[in-house]
Amino acid sequence: MSNEENIVMYQGDDPEMVATSKRARKSFRYFWRELSWEYRRIVPGLDLAAVKFAFHDPDVAPGDTDTEHMWVSDIQCDGKEFTGTLLNSPAWLTNMSAGDPVCEPLSEITDWMFAIQGKVYGAYTVNLLRSRMSPRERKEHDQAWGLDFGDPEEIEVVYVQPEQKSGFLGLFGKKSVVDPEKQRRAMIEHPMSINMGESLKESLRESKEPLHATDEDGWTMLHRDALAGNATIVKILLKHGADKNLKTPDGDTALDLARIFGWKHVISLLSK
């Protein structure tokens, strides 16, 4: 993520937690890519999607903690700032409460997570805390959440449809497995992006209107998919005449947006 060097380190921070949050920021693009498809789904696919930010209260008394890390849902992103709804009430900050609308810069992200079919992806800081728990504490923690966080030392960032064990092993309820090759491909491109390709081509053969239409924020489809890293969609839009030089109201081209999260395949397409 851009501007990594501008992230402020706070006195008293746990150095391991700071490093873990940095890892979360570097992989955050996969959260936003998944959320971009969630917003397109007719039937929601995510059980949970939230981002953790560092919030500050400049009016606290001297010596009191002025920073608290809290989760935010209903996330929207314009490439520079996030808006959403504060999920939890502060333990000590007094300038906000659960349910408040918030707007924070990318630099304040300290974690992210989403869950599909009860399994959690991301959750870097959560898993660091889980790694410090005893097996019993970890089990109680996961039961309280009602989610499968998996191995705290092996954080997954993309969802891949698991393959069910067949035959003899399947009779005894052995866990389904993820094909490593499918996982590798999913890191490069979201399966829904690939699957949408043919229907998008057909739609654009019937009408070019989707190439030029803008949403309520003044963004085109090319802008949205460039920020989300959907290379298959970007390639088709460009082939059918989408203008890569169009800018958002904030002055960003599709290439500018792709660079925010470092989507190499999209950057390559838009740089031609």
pLDDT of residue 66: 74
Q: Which of 90, 92, 114, 113 is nearest to 102 (CA)?
A: 90
pLDDT value of position 164: 65
Residue 169 has pLDDT above 60, yes or no: no
Fold of the domain spanning 189-270: 1.25.40
pLDDT at 187 over 80: yes
* 173 Rama class: left (phi>0) / alpha (psi -120 to 50) / beta: left
Q: Residues of the chain with pLDDT > 70: what percent?
A: 88
In this predicted structure, what is the pLDDT of residue 9? 36
What average pLDDT does the chain have?
Answer: 89
pTM (2 d.p.) = 0.89
Longest dimension (CA), the chain: 66
Q: What tokens appear for 183 in the block?
A: 């996982």
Q: What is the pLDDT of residue 72?
A: 97
Instruction: Find the Cα–Cα–Cα–Cα dihedral 223, 228, 230, 234, rounded to 10°.
Output: 10
Write the pLDDT tens digit of every residue in 216-258. 999 999 999 999 999 999 999 999 999 999 999 999 999 999 9
Residue-level pLDDT at 172: 52
User: What is the reported pLDDT for 92?
Assistant: 82
pLDDT of residue 10: 43
Task: Using the Cα atoms of residue 177, residue 26, residue 65 and residue 63 in order, give the sign of their dihedral.
Answer: positive
Span 49-99, pLDDT tens digits:
999 999 987 776 555 567 889 999 999 999 889 999 999 888 888 888 999
d(CA 62, CA 68): 16
| 164/141: higher pLDDT | 141
* Letter string b/e over residues 90-120, b meaning 16 or more CB atoms within 10 A of that residue's CB: beebeebeeeeebebebbbbbbbbbbbeeeb
What is the structure's pLDDT at 33? 98
- Give the H/E segment covering residue 34: helix 28-38
Query: What residues does each domain of the chain span?
Result: 4-145, 189-270
Q: How far from 227 is each of 161, 233, 255, 261, CA to CA, in Å?
A: 24, 12, 9, 7
Q: What is the mean pLDDT of residues 150-158?
A: 96
15, pLDDT greater than 50: yes
Tell me the percentage of the chain whose pLDDT exceeds 90. Answer: 74
Q: Is the pLDDT of residue 134 over 50?
A: yes
Q: How far apart are CA 74 and CA 52, in angstroms?
A: 12
Distance, in Å, from the CA atom of 118 to the CA atom of 145, rounded to the nearest integer, reads 10
CA distance 210 to 233: 12
pLDDT at 176 over 90: no
